[in-house]
Amino acid sequence: MSVSVKVMYSLRVLGLPPGATAPEIRSAFRRLARTCHPDVAGRQGARKFEQITGAYTFLKGLTQEELRQGQLQEDGASRNERNEPEAFRWGWKRWEKALTWRQKRKERLKAEQGRKERLAQEREEKIRQKREASVESVLARGEKAVENLLLLMEQETQKCNVQDLLLRLSSEVPRVRHLALSRLGTLANRPELLAATLRLLQRWDIDDKTARLVVSLPLAGENHQTLAEKLAGRAQALPDSLLMHLLRLQNSSQTLDRELMERYLQKASPTGIALILRYWPQETFVSSSVLLDLLSRKSEVVLVPLLSIMKQRSVPCPEGGREYLTAHLSHPNVAVRIWAKALLSSCEDSGPFPPL
Amino acid sequence: MNGSRNRSVTIGIDLGTRNALCAYMNGVRPVMIPNRWGRISTPSVVGWDRGWVVGEDAVRLSFRGSYPVWWDLKRKVGGEFQALCGEKNCTAQEILVPLLCALREDAEVFLGQFVSSCVLAVPAIFSLLQREAMVRAAEAAGLREVRVINEPTAAALAFGREGRFLVLDFGAGTVDVSVVESEGGVWQVLESVGTSKIGGYDFDLALAEWLRERLRLPDLSPEDPRWRTLVWEAEALKIALSSCQSYDWVPPAIGGTGEMGGAGKIGEAGEPLKGEPLKVEREDLERMVRFSIRRVVHIVRRLWTRHEPEHLLLVGGSSRIPLLREILETEVARPERLSLCAEESIVAGAALCARIGDGRLLLDILSGDVGFLRDGQPEILIPAGTPVPFAARASFMPARSGKVELPIFQNMGDAREERTILSLLTLNVEANVEVEIHCSLSTSGLIHFVLRQGSTQVEMPLFSLKRDILASAPSSGGQRIRDLKLRLTPLEILCSAEQVERLHGLVRQVENIKDGGVSTEILEGIVKDLEVALS
């Protein structure tokens, strides 16, 4: 293609008259880009955009003289176009002729058709059945494909979601972790996300907001159990609300896991211990080794609820517990002293009377 | 945050050599996102202390002792640079990940929702390789959808007025000069050149070196906390000297933490270190930077005379240097201020770009020729200055059978003199059968190369195109589905009522799937099969 022809072609692509100037070309390119740039029109426009970009890049590199060359060529072309009306009239006559010929042919065909009609009807019935069967198979294939696609897309989005959540659960910024926890929803039951949640709880300080969010996670029964078991070692750092949730203390419908509660008792903070003791089931009490361990504590936050519960439920004092109780008689806290005394006296009630 | 709560937000990120900024669109206005330290700009600094440390924490870490801390990462992206972090060797791109992660997290905290798409502004002179490295880093940082735009273009977008302007982006690490023309909501880049050899950070280093000599300190290694302190001070001094003629600088008590000798040794040279101020004149600084600034002005003047724009816009922190304004005013034109702060305009533009489509369109260009080497001869496939996206084809006839190696390159640099090899494609070919080369460039300036002969082909997926967010506008499939429905109408007459019902159900399902293409293809397959079955 010679340069002048290419100039003409390119100008036409941009919808410009011959002899356009460089600013006009830029302007036209922009105007067209507005309608077909992939940012605006999506993939539909890509082809067209490529075309106008090609034309634009070509024209951009030309000088004004070269652009004018296109104009000369165009003038020549438009002279030829002036002959067009005549050619058109000639064309019309021919068209008319063709029309009449077609009409005759149509009539002939109609007669022929009448003869064939019956035959055709029978054939059609057969074809119709065959057709229906094939349509059926096409539809089934299509439905299957769409179904597969939907499934695939769902998996894809879920994978993306899981990745997003995993990344954010391991963030160092507390508020990002909160955001992730609040977005977990039922996905929390997926093993990798459960593990990430667990890592989060083990690694960072658990503030109230984290605790609240973990409590509201819709965890399945066994996942709840694993989380509770794995967190036993960190019982000391767990806020009360989370502790209650993990041990299902407030949930009256379920029986409490006593073994787990004892493990928590050994690690939990004083307030946590008090909390667990308060919810301890009626008919039994802590095993004697754990009880001894608790009795040896010094904090009144543990001792007051412990001793009072022991008294209320008349728990027998374990072997060796008496020494601790006696020691608590001189505890700085008055409540501890009173409860220790009461317990000691009830212990003695059951045993032989000591000399007063 | 009105209205933006429910849909996903795209943030704009300007990851500069010295500082990184983040912004998002609140309604029609770009809003800066503050970081965890309560500031708008985060130092682009990453350190390693048994774990990643970023931003201001990393700055503090570098003053504390000789930890590995990287200050100048952006210019090393996509290059050979490697550093030891813990036990692993990391590239610059990998070291950037924690920084981008921190930016994302700050945005998430600020916006109260997950952020997984962004518009990343990079210097116009970044090669395709560097762009790809940046995108990879952003992806690793959890920003799944990344759109890359050029910094000067972003600044022009933020400027918002019509006309033709020259944007000089003089940042800490790079100089970018672009001529942008805007008309009727379309921003078109006409030309952009630049260099990464000049930057404000280099001025800081030069001034720090000068200060070191004035203080008669021994040569300091780049990791030395005393050197870091000096550079930090030099930056503050440089900024101060932009608004005054001379400055009484009080040298900090750079004691050091041992290793290099401690407090006692610094004083050895006899120079008093404590308390006594050092007078630094603006001329002292200007002597050091004059040559570099001359070079910048030279680039600006060249473009100015070629395009004769109406406005001269300055962005980037180093554009505040009075000497630059002075020379530009006498030799080129009076620079205009953006209404925004010079540093913020780029990120504001990036945020605006995230909303492209509603009345605003950006026509960016390729900044360096892309081509391939054939028998050592370079052959240019896409010339610099071509508006993106673009696709090009070429072909050649191999003379003999065997392995063909085709290096793909890009010419970069001020005068397009540096040649970067992007990738090497190898294909086993037969003699005298045409080999086709397809190359497509996305809106973000990311490239995809295919070398094909018959059915064998090899690709260069520097980056897969489908991840380009803005390339797949939501409306893309609509027209095609309408066309397909039209084709279905005559076919329906031939089906039974029950089948028609099922067909309609399928079409409805396809219409509801928003995946940009695959579902439409399925529908097209169904239509074709039906046409065959019913013919």
CATH number of the domain encompassing residue B410: 2.60.34.10
Closest CA to B435 of B443, B425, B445, B444: B425
Tens digit of pLDDT for each residue in B384-404? 888 878 888 888 888 778 887
Q: Residue for token digits 């680039």? A: B299
Choose, out of B179, B361, B468, B518, the residue to mutate when testing the contact with A (most A CBs < 10 Å). B361
Q: 3-class SS at A118?
A: helix
User: Is the pLDDT at B108 greater than 80, yes or no?
Assistant: yes
Q: Does B511 lie in the same domain as B382? A: no
CB contact (8 A) between residue B533 and residue A27:
no
On chain A, the residues whose CB falls within 8 A of the CB of B476 are: 41-44
- Provide mean pLDDT across the span B297-324: 88
Q: Residue B25 pLDDT > 60, yes or no?
A: yes
pLDDT beyond 90 at B99: yes
For residues B22 and B162, state if they share a domain.
yes
Whether B405 and B419 share a structural domain? yes
- Domain membership of residue B408 (yes or no) is yes
Ranges B33-47, B145-159, B517-531: which has the least confidence: B517-531
The stretch B101-126 carries a mean pLDDT of 90
Count Cβ neighbours within 10 Å for each residue of A201-230 and write b for 16 or more, e otherwise.
Answer: beeeebeeebbbbbeebebeeebbebbbee
In a domain, B35, yes or no: yes
Rounded (5°) CA angle B385-B354-B338 = 75
HEC assignment per residue over B73-110: CHHHCCCCCEEEECCEEEEHHHHHHHHHHHHHHHHHHH
Q: Test A145 with B522 for CB contact under 8 angstroms.
A: yes
Q: With bands split at pLDDT 50, 70 and 90, how would you rate the model's confidence at B32?
A: very high
Q: What is the DSSP letter of B441?
A: E
Q: Which residues 446-485 on chain B approach chain A with CB closer than 8 angstroms?
A: 470-477, 479-480
* Contacts for A243 with CB less than 8 Å, ≥ 6 apart: A235, A249, A264, A268, A272, A275, A276
Question: Residue B251: inside a domain, yes or no?
Answer: no
Q: In chain B, which residue's Cα lies nearest the Cα of A28?
A: B183
Closest residue on chain B to A24 (Cα) = B183
Interface test with B, best of A34, A37, A148, A179 (most B CBs within 10 A): A37
Q: Token digits for B204? A: 């800081």
pLDDT of residue B102: 93
Round to whole Å and give the CA distance between A52 and A82.
Answer: 29
Whole-structure pTM value: 0.75
B184 chain-A contacts, CB cut-off 8 A = 30-31, 34
φ, ψ of residue B6 in degrees (nearest 5): -85, -30
> Residue A134 and residue B533: Cβ atoms within 8 Å?
yes
Q: Same domain, yes or no, for B499 and B445?
A: no
Q: pLDDT-derived band of residue B460, with 50, 70 and 90 as boundaries? A: low
Q: Collect all residues of chain B within an 8 Å Cβ-Cβ radius of residue A38.
A: 389, 443, 470-471, 473
Q: How far is CA B132 from CA A53, B78, B135, B261, in A?
A: 24, 8, 5, 43
Residues B352 and B498 in one domain: no
Contact B479 A160 (CB under 8 A): no
* Residue B384 φ then ψ, to 5°: -60, 145
Task: Give B387 to chain A, closest Cα distance, Å.
Answer: 7
Domain boundary among B471, B489, B523: B471
The pLDDT score that the predictor gives to residue A88 is 54
| Candidates B113, B387, B475; nearest CB to A53 | B387
Across the interface, whether the CB atoms of B476 and A138 are under 8 A apart is answered no
Q: How confident is the model at residue B297 (pLDDT cuts 50, 70, 90)?
A: very high
pLDDT on residue A44:
67
A176·B105 Cβ contact <8 A: yes
Q: Is residue B402 part of a domain?
A: yes
Per-residue pLDDT at B466 exceeds 50: no
Specify whether the CB–CB gap between B256 and B218 falls below 8 A: no
For an interface test with A, which of B33, B108, B469 has the most A Cβ atoms less than 10 Å from its Cβ? B108
With CB atoms and an 8 Å threshold, state whether B443 touches A38.
yes
DSSP B216: T
Nearest by CB to B526, which of A136, A138, A172? A138
Contact A141 B529 (CB under 8 A): yes
In chain B, the number of structural domains is: 3
**B151 contacts B121 by C-beta, under 8 angstroms:** yes
Number of Cβ within a 10 Å radius of residue A354: 6
Of residues B263 and B152, the one with the higher pLDDT is: B152
CB contact burial A328-340 (16+ within 10 A = b; e otherwise): beebebeebbbbb
Q: How confident is the model at residue B515 (pLDDT cuts 50, 70, 90)?
A: low
Domain CATH code at residue B314: 3.30.420.40
Q: Looking at residue B357, what is its pLDDT?
A: 57
Whether B164 is in a domain gets the answer yes
Are the C-beta atoms of residues B439 and B382 closer than 8 Å to each other?
A: yes
Chain A closest-CA separation from residue B30 CA (Å): 20
Strand B29-32 with B447-453, pairing: unpaired
Do B519 and A31 make contact, defined as CB atoms within 8 angstroms? no
**Under a CB-based contact definition with an 8 Å cutoff, are residues B252 and B229 in contact?**
yes
- Spatial separation of the C-alpha atoms in residues A42 and A87, rounded to whole Å: 42
Query: Can you spell out the DSSP letters for A337-348?
Result: HHHHHHHHHHHH
Contacts of B515 in chain A (CB under 8 A): 149, 153
Of A27, A42, A138, the CB nearest to B476: A42
In a mutagenesis test of the B interface, which of A139, A143, A162, A164 is the best target, namely the one with the most B β-carbons within 10 Å? A139
Q: Which residue of B has its CA nearest to A147?
A: B509
Q: What one-letter code names the amino acid at A338?
A: I
pLDDT at B79 exceeding the cut of 80: no
Of B55-64, B66-75, B76-85, B419-428, give the range with the top mean pLDDT: B55-64
pLDDT at residue number A356: 40
How would you classify the pairing of strands B52-54 and B69-70? unpaired
| Cα–Cα distance for residue pair A247/A264, rounded to 1 Å | 9
Is the same domain home to B481 and B466?
Answer: no
Instruction: Tell if the CB–CB gap between B142 and A168 is shorter than 8 Å.
Output: yes
Residues of B in contact with A51 (CB under 8 A): none
Q: Same structural domain for residues B406 and B490?
A: no
- How near does any CA of chain A get to the CA of B453, in Å? 23
Whether residue B276 is contained in a domain is answered as no
Residues B458 and B496 occupy one common structural domain: no
Which is more confident, B360 or B515? Answer: B360
Which candidate, A143, A187, A140, places its Cα nearest to that of A168? A187
**Is the distance from CB of B313 to CB of B209 less than 8 angstroms?**
no
User: Is B262 within a domain?
Assistant: no
> Which residue out of B110, B114, B356, B364 would a mutagenesis test of the A interface target, given it has the greatest number of A Cβ atoms within 10 Å?
B114
B482 and B394 in one domain? no
Q: Does B252 touch chain A (CB under 8 A)?
A: no
CB–CB contact A39 B361 (8 Å): yes
Judge: A53–B480 Cβ closer than 8 Å, yes or no: no
For residue B458, the distance in angstroms to the closest alpha carbon of chain A comes to 23
Indicate the residue type of A230: K
pLDDT of residue A70: 54
The answer to whether the beta carbons of residues A152 and A145 sit under 8 Å apart is: no
Scan residues 491-510 of B and list those with Cβ closer than 8 Å to A: 494-496, 499, 502-503, 506, 509-510
- Nearest-Cα distance to chain A for B333, in Å, is 22
For residue B4, what pLDDT band results from cuts at 50, 70 and 90? Answer: very low
Handedness of CA B384, B387, B388, B390 (dihedral sign): negative
Over chain B, what is the mean pLDDT?
80
Instruction: Select from B362, B393, B418 the last residue of a domain.
Output: B362
What residues have CB less than 8 Å from A272, skipping those under 6 apart? A235, A236, A238, A240, A243, A264
The answer for B 121-180 residues in CB contact with A (under 8 A) is 142, 144
Nearest to B468 by CA among B57, B75, B138, B18: B138
**Residues of chain A positioned with their CB less than 8 A from the CB of B356:** 39
> Is residue B128 domain-shared with residue B167, that is, in the same domain?
yes
- Contact at CB, B526 and A141, closer than 8 angstroms: yes
Give the pairing of strands B88-91 and B278-281.
Answer: unpaired
One domain, residues B43 and B81: yes
Indicate whether B417 and B523 sit together in one domain. Answer: no
Task: Write the ipTM.
Answer: 0.72
B114 versus B6: which is more confidently predicted?
B114
Query: Is it the case that residue B135 has pLDDT exceeding 80?
Result: yes
Residues in chain B closer than 8 A to A138 (CB atoms): 526, 529-530, 533
Predicted confidence (pLDDT) at residue B107 exceeds the cutoff of 90: yes
A167 chain-B contacts, CB cut-off 8 A: 142
Using CB atoms, pick whichever of B473, B499, B533 lies closest to residue A42.
Answer: B473
- Tens digits of residue pLDDT in A276-309: 888 887 777 777 788 888 888 888 888 888 888 8
Higher pLDDT, A289 or B534: A289
- Compute φ and ψ for B31, nearest 5 degrees: -120, 130
pLDDT at B463: 46
* Structural domain that includes position B103: 10-199+291-362
Ranges of chain A with pLDDT below 50: 74, 76-84, 87, 352-356
Neighbours of B413 (CB within 10 A): 18
Could you tell me whether strands B435-441 and B447-453 are parallel, antiparallel, or unpaired per DSSP bridges? antiparallel
From the list A33, A43, A139, the residue facing B499 with the nearest CB is A139
**Residue B392 lies inside a defined structural domain of this protein:** yes
Q: List the single range of B110-119, B283-292, B311-320, B353-362 with lowest mean pLDDT.
A: B353-362
- A101/chain B closest Cα distance in angstroms: 28
> For residue B364, is pLDDT > 60?
yes
B309, B327, B362: which is the final residue of a domain?
B362
Q: Token pair 């669109």 is at which residue?
A: B25
Please determine, for residue B103, whether its predicted confidence score (pLDDT) is greater than 90: yes
